[in-house]
Amino acid sequence: MQRNQNAFSLIECMIALSLGMLLCAGIFLLFNTLQALHRRQSVIANEQNQMRFINAFLNKKIHMAGNGSCVSTSEKPQSAIIQTLDSETAKRLLGLSIKPETALLQLQECISFHNRLQYLPVAFFIADTHRITSNRKNITALFIKVGDHPREELMTDVADFQLHVYLTSQPANNIQAVEVDYLLSSIDDVLTHPQTYWFNGSVITASDRALYQSGILYAVVQRHL
């Protein structure tokens, strides 16, 4: 009788040990899942904040391009108030190395420079930051360059930047509309599978496991000149 009781206790211990291992594995899996979910939510929240910033910032810049404040103090800008350049043209005309197959947006803005108001070209473009991720992937960013000043990093993790410029049928107002299509990307891989997303009129499947969010900005400018 004592022998049976000892055998039954051993079985109970083995069952309890197995259940404990399953419970630990479940908790570990749940922790990893929640951690991955938190990382994704943090990336999404950060990208949404970036989208709000880029929409507000570029919309204001485009709207105020060619502002008439400089008319009485300087000559009119020699180039177009708003123009777009591809990567090859940007390299040839401006000497700027931007990400291939992306666009450069150049605005003529009335800026106080050397204690006087004058029109200066302000360029927005994507370029390499010369930094890499943990997976040794190059990190790109949206840069701003005013006149001959060095470029400044405006926003990190911008993967693509495309532009469409339209002239309206209102010659009296002379309004120009600009569509900016941009793509944000997480620095690290946070997804388990490559993401499929819509950008610039096409469905694209990513080559990595980063999280992408595309945005579209429509802005109009009243030509003041």
Residue 32's domain comprises: 12-222
Residue 4 lies in a domain: no
**Model confidence at 200, in pLDDT bands (50, 70, 90)?**
very high
Residue with the larger pLDDT of the pair 88 and 170: 88
User: How many CA atoms does the CB half-sphere of 42 hold within 13 Å?
Assistant: 9
Residue 69 lies in a domain: yes
Residue 37 lies in a domain: yes
Residue 6 lies in a domain: no
Residue 158 lies in a domain: yes
pLDDT tens track for 183-199: 999 988 888 899 999 99
Q: pTM score > 0.85 for this model?
A: no
Q: Compute the C-alpha angle 184/190/194, nearest 5°.
A: 75
| Burial of 200 from C-beta contacts in 10 A (0-12 / 13-18 / 19+) | middle
Predicted pLDDT at 75? 58
Residue 7 lies in a domain: no
pLDDT tens track for 34-75: 777 777 888 888 889 999 999 999 999 998 887 766 765 555
- Going from the C-alpha of 124 to that of each of 76, 78, 107, the distances in angstroms are 21, 19, 9
Question: What is the average per-residue pLDDT within 64-91?
Answer: 76
The Cα 182–Cα 51 span in angstroms is: 9
When divided into structural domains, the chain yields a total of: 1
The answer on pLDDT for 18 being more than 90 is no
Residue 215 lies in a domain: yes
Predicted pLDDT at 85? 94
And the tokens for 156? 């990190």
